[in-house]
């Protein structure tokens, strides 16, 4: 089983997977500070699914791009859980995870997030057998410069 978290934006999420099957998820919108809800959401999600931290084989987190503070909270949380339970960790690009939602598209997919300061985080992905491949890697630029 895998526990995955995303704290890269002003909203956040926690999800539990058994292989490719989503078992449970929790999404919180406009949370402010992720430290205030993240551990409680993880505990509630695992308790609700009747899963122990020791049942997990992998912990995954969004590694950015995104909010610096949000990413630090997510990485610190996952690192603490991984260290205490001896579970391997995988970081996933926030933009690649967004693009994955359209993995069966015949057209390239361009996820875009507000980077503030009149910039965006963006990338361009193509897919081969449902697997994303970066055509333009994750970057931060003005929208005009990217497009």
pLDDT of residue 4: 98
Q: For residue 86, what pLDDT is reported?
A: 97
Helices vs. strands in the chain: H and E counts, helices first: 4, 8
Which uninterrupted H or E stretch holds 36? none
Angstrom distance (rounded) from CA 32 to CA 6: 14
pLDDT at 146: 84
- So where are the chain's domains? 2-95, 103-146
Superfamily the domain 2-95 falls into: ATPase, nucleotide binding domain (3.30.420.40)
What pLDDT, on the 0 to 100 scale, is given for residue 147? 80
Question: Which ranges of the chain have pLDDT less than 70?
Answer: none
Output the pLDDT for position 55. Answer: 97
pLDDT value of residue 48: 97
Bridge-based pairing of strands 119-128 and 12-18 is unpaired
Judge whether 66 and 36 are in contact, CB under 8 Å: no
């Amino acid at each position: 089983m895998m526990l995955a978290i995303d704290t890269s934006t002003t909203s956040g999420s926690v999800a539990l997977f058994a292989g490719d099957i989503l078992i449970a998820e929790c999404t919180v919108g406009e949370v402010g500070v992720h430290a205030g809800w993240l551990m409680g959401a993880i505990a509630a999600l695992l308790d609700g699914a009747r899963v122990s931290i020791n049942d997990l084989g992998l912990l995954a987190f969004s590694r950015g791009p995104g909010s610096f503070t949000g990413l630090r909270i997510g990485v610190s949380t996952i690192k603490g859980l991984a260290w205490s339970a001896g579970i391997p960790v995988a970081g996933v690009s926030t933009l690649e995870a967004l693009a994955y939602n359209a993995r069966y598209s015949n057209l390239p997919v361009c996820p875009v997030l507000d980077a503030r300061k009149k910039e965006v985080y963006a990338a361009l992905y193509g897919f081969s057998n449902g697997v994303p491949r970066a055509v333009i890697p994750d970057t931060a630029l003005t929208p005009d410069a990217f497009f």
